[in-house]
Amino acid sequence: MIKVNGEPLHIIVENKEDIAPIILLPGDPLRAKYIAKNFLTDAKLVNTLRNMFAYTGFYNGIKVTVMGSGMGMPSMGIYAYELFNFFHVKKIIRIGTCGAVKEGIKVPQVVMVDNVYTESNFAYLFNEEKINLVKGSIKLNQDIMATAKDLNISVIKGDNVTMDVFGPYVAIDNIIGRTPKFLDIVTEEMECFALFYIAKCFEREASCLLTTVDSNFSEDVVSPEERETALNEMIKLALETIIK
């Protein structure tokens, strides 16, 4: 893996200390704004480059940054790399939305990703490793499940497939059918593998919490307008976990 010296190209802040060592990464930068306004105190907008807003504030007195990551593995890869490489971030929890691909998973439902699989060549392009499966941080995942129990938040632990294309636009059943049989694939989305793999390369902690907003087995859908408030349980769970 190449570790670039110098300055990041996509996160521009006044001081490196403007980025906290613990991070929440929603995909949508407007969701980062929502979290900063509704969950953090003394939140400061620290990055606006490409409108990928990053806010740093305090949650229960602990410094936290929340930042958008964009859509897809290339975008997630840029921000995860720069946060780990240039800002020496220690822990990241992705908080995103996903599609449910296993019968019985309700909408909405919070899911914690255990393993993530992809058919992408992301790992090979990034680090010349032929890897298509990577696991989230064991310690951080344990903290998530313990915190969920304390908060009485229902969380399903399962495996995820990260796609290069938007799930509803492809024959998702064919893709799920090609995943290793030992996996329990419950969700699909577009960013998780990149985060987990880059965290692995830097030997840092990364986990992923997802809220199902649609399902192959139900007509229930969480609309874009409803997503801000529908994701509050997941947001609180991620914040309570990452400050531990």
**Domains and their CATH numbers in the chain:** 16-242 (3.40.50.1580)
pLDDT in tens, 55-75: 999 999 999 999 999 999 999
- Rounded to whole angstroms, how far apart are CA atoms 22 and 19? 8
Q: How confident is the model at residue 6 (pLDDT cuts 50, 70, 90)?
A: confident
**Among 117, 146, 140, 153, CA closest to 208:** 140
pLDDT confidence tier of residue 221, bands split at 50, 70 and 90: confident
Cite the active site residues: 214
pLDDT digits (tens, 9 = 90+) for 103-147: 999 999 999 999 999 999 999 999 999 999 999 999 999 999 999
Q: Report the predicted TM-score, pTM, of the whole model to 2 decimal places.
A: 0.96
pLDDT at 226 > cutoff 80: no
Please check the confidence at residue 89 and state whether its pLDDT lies above 70: yes
22 neighbors 91 (Cβ within 8 angstroms)? yes
